[in-house]
Amino acid sequence: MEERKRIFSGMQPSGMITLGNYLGALKNWTNLQDEYDCLYCIVDMHAITVRQDPVKLRKQCKDLLTQYLAVGIHPEKNIIYYQSHVSQHAELSWILNCYTYMGELNRMTQFKDKAAKHSDNINAGLYTYPVLMAADILLYQTDLVPVGEDQRQHLEITRDIAGRFNALYGDTFKIPEAYIGKVGARVMALQDPSKKMSKSDENQNNTIALMDDPAVIMNKVKRAVTDSENEVRYGEDKPGISNLLNIYCACTGKTIAEAEKEFSATGYGAFKTAVGEAVVAELEPVQKKIKELEQNKDYLNEVIRNGAERAGNLAAKTLTKVQKKIGFPPAIR
Ligand code: TYM
């Protein structure tokens, strides 16, 4: 039997996740779990590249775990775990740091954006963030990495690091491919559709949080910035309407052409109501499930214990191989 392809992806527990994270990543993850062997990580080590409150961070990790489960990521079919529970991530990351050039890291747009935003804390971890991400992916001999469009550059550097290592030491890492969905890969801020919807946005009207009440969602969509025409059409000259069309299609499964046709005779008001309703219909069942899961502490603990054990076993294999190739002496047991 042909071996199933492996998928790895992760999300930072750095605040309430948004409709962008949901449509760009989570929703795709659930669609992939039957066809692939998947690892879905909660990347707490990445989250501390910006300052986090320890009590809040712990809660955000647990919240993200319930969110993964609530959208339908199955804990037995997939491996779900906290990054900090599998020490091989940090170990491989150090090794890969020594095979990554500063010139490469200097080009990373996310580093530039985050450094500008957190100018009081431009730490070395923020700079080498993509190397830890490469370690995450390469530890598991990953074939595909489902992410939103904003992570494409990090995938490219991961491939470059893996290729460089393989060229020096022979085949060690599988070279992973990005898997970027057609709709939902780039959900933009509602009040400023030139920038992406982001968890860390200070303007709450820019984002729809996974846990927003239906009335709040309707309100935010109604207030979304559009343009002075009244034509529901997708196009570069219409970033606000295009963003809403994208959201609508990602939630309903319709194509852009179908949606344009559906709203060809209606104004923006009716269109926005339909978009809001589609988002509510998508998120309401998830919210209900989250509330149920939150009550079940023992179950959550078991998922995370089991995930760390399974991920650790796989990660150890790659790390041992790498250590041997680069000449570290074997541990005496
Ligand atoms: P993070 O936590 O910022 O985002 C998690 C996922 O959500 C996607 N995403 C979006 N998709 C569409 N529209 C948006 N507005 C939007 N905002 C975010 C992201 O592309 C991502 O897929 N570095 C990663 C976490 C990570 C990772 C990894 C991912 C660490 N190691 C290994 C894949 C593989 C990040 O910060 O994602």
Contacts of residue 136, defined as CB under 8 A and 6 or more positions apart, other chains included, come to 8, 10, 41, 43, 83, 89
- Quote helix, strand, coil % in the chain, to nearest 5: 55, 10, 35
Q: Is 114 a catalytic residue?
A: yes
Residue 171 has pLDDT above 80, yes or no: yes
Find out whether 175 and 162 touch, Cβ atoms under 8 Å.
yes
Question: For residue 15, how far is its CA from the centre of ligand 1 (angstroms)?
Answer: 13
Average pLDDT rounded to a whole number, residues 19-36: 92
Distance from Cα 284 to the centre of ligand 1, integer Å? 22
Q: Is 195 part of the annotated catalytic residue set?
A: no
Contact 145, 178 (CB under 8 A): yes
Q: Is the pTM of this model over 0.85?
A: yes
Mean predicted confidence (pLDDT) in 83-108: 98
The whole-number pLDDT of residue 1 equals 56
Q: What is the mean pLDDT of residues 146-152?
A: 92
**Contact assessment for residue 162 and residue 155, using Cβ atoms and an 8 Å cutoff:** no
Residue 298 banded pLDDT, cuts 50, 70, 90: very high
Q: What is the pLDDT of residue 16?
A: 85
User: Which residue among the candidates 112, 182, 195, 199 is catalytic per the annotation?
Assistant: 199
Ligand 1 centre and the CA of 21: distance in Å?
A: 7
Please tell me the predicted confidence (pLDDT) of residue 184. Answer: 74
Name the residue of 39, 43, 191 to mutate for ligand 1: max ligand atoms within 8 A of Cβ.
43
Yes or no: say if 323 and 139 are a contact pair by the CB < 8 Å rule: no
Q: Which residues line ligand 1 (CB under 6 A)?
A: 8-12, 20-21, 24-25, 43, 46, 133, 136-137, 145, 147-148, 150-151, 154, 185-187, 196-197
Cα–Cα distance measured from residue 237 to residue 227, given in angstroms and rounded to the nearest whole number = 9
Residue nearest to atom 16 of ligand 1 (CA): 20
CA distance 312 to 302: 15
Segment 65-86 mean pLDDT: 97
Contact between 16 and 66 under an 8 Å Cβ cutoff? The reply is: no
**303 contacts 80 by C-beta, under 8 angstroms:** yes
Q: How confident is the model at residue 173 (pLDDT cuts 50, 70, 90)?
A: very high
Which ligand 1 atom is at minimum distance from the Cα of 149? 20
